[in-house]
Amino acid sequence: MPLPLYLLAMAVFAMGTSEFMLAGLLPDIASDVDVTVATAGVLTSAFALGMILGAPLVAASARNWPRRPALLGFVLAFAAAHALGAVTTSFPVLFATRVVAALANAGFLAVALTAAASLVPADRKGRALAVLLSGTTVATIAGVPGGAVLGTALGWRSTFWAVAALCLPAALGILKGIPAGRDEDEATGRPALRAELGRLARPRLILVMLLGALVNAATFGSLTFLGPVVTDSAGLGELWISVALVLFGAGSSVGVTVAGRLSDRSPGPVIAIAGPLLLVGWLALAVLADEPAALLTLVFVQGALSFALGGTLITRVLYEAAGAPTMAGAYATAALNVGAAVGPVVSAATLGTGAGALGPLWTSGLLVAVALLIALPLRTVITAGRHTEVLR
């Protein structure tokens, strides 16, 4: 894999850390800026909404920019938003910085996903995507727990400063590692924006985006509320929440790596095997959550299966949107973040029911079951054409 891919992954690491780090910082933020915890929680929704809306809008606006200045601009805007967020005492300003950061993140991912696919041969998009997404998995393994520890020790503002600082070497790497000029496919033969948007009318693209969103909704629906499962259901101390998050992140790294090697040429078996196993895993986790050893083991397994299946489906989005070279990454980003936004909302509604802390786990199982009911009868449709039309 070319070096620029790893430089892009470094930026994805910083952005992934920011996206997930607020879960452990909300009480301190609320106290510091004089709002309720529920109000502070809107910061998470603002980021997710910015990602969903920002991916297609920012990608469309930046489609005529050369990739290096686009990527560099998004990274620097992301860093600036966090620097401002670290010094403000106004909640509306902090809210605005999260929206700006989300838009920059969405734009970066939309361009980076397309750039990553263009840096490798057409039949290695899955492996390139695995390298890029490794930034997110490393964020869940190290960035998010590390941010929680830093926030506890030095205050939530220090975490914002740390994310801003992480963007600087990533920006330097982009400046040195991404070609300065336009790629040949950027300069000539690029389809009009209307033609690229027209790809959304393809039923196969809509299908794989829907499946990717459902699987990601299941993933983040449970990951967001993993803390109460660890402390309430398993009866472990708060320190074990970080342990569980690290295990999930380690599993996701394994899943992305394995899927990256299989999703280009054998997406069908990945979907057919990982999908049912993921469903069984969520149900098993809901049943066995009061057993600490089983809980921690299954958290690792679910991280691996979730990202193996989700990564494969997002790779399929890139293949199916191959005729939309500047918008393909935006479609993939939007699908991921629709799931990341919807999953926690649906899961949160179950916390007040009789299922209690286990409600999100049952919900994740239901979401995966819906995805399987849609996918399995259409598996050949989802994976068709990967060596011909979609690679052109």
CA distance 16 to 223: 14
Give the model's pLDDT for residue 390: 39
- Assess contact for 375 and 211: CB atoms under 8 A: yes
**Is 324's pLDDT higher than 80?**
no
**Pick the residue with more confidence: 45 or 275?**
275
CA distance 212 to 202: 16
In the chain, what percentage of residues exceed pLDDT 90? 23
Compute and round to an integer the Cα radius of gyration of the chain: 20
Neighbours of 38 (CB within 10 A): 9
**Pick the residue with more confidence: 182 or 230?**
230
**Structure token pair of residue 195:** 């033609």
Residue-wise pLDDT tens digits, 185-217? 454 456 677 777 777 777 888 888 889 899 989
- Assess contact for 257 and 329: CB atoms under 8 A: no
**Pick the residue with more confidence: 279 or 382?**
279
State the distance between the two ends of the chain, measured CA to CA, in whole angstroms: 21
Return left, alpha or beta for 308; rule: phi > 0 is left, psi -120 to 50 is alpha, else beta.
alpha
Mean pLDDT rounded to a whole number for the chain: 80
**Is 386's pLDDT higher than 50?**
no
**Is 352's pLDDT higher than 60?**
yes
DSSP state of 150: H
Give the model's pLDDT for residue 24: 63
**Is 387's pLDDT higher than 50?**
no
CA distance 63 to 325: 9
Give the model's pLDDT for residue 326: 64
**Across 59-75, average pLDDT:** 81
What are the distances in angstroms from CA 147 to CA 8, 142, 231?
21, 8, 20
In the chain, what percentage of residues exceed pLDDT 70? 81
Which residue type, as a one-letter code, is found at position 156?
A: W
Question: What is this structure's pTM?
Answer: 0.74
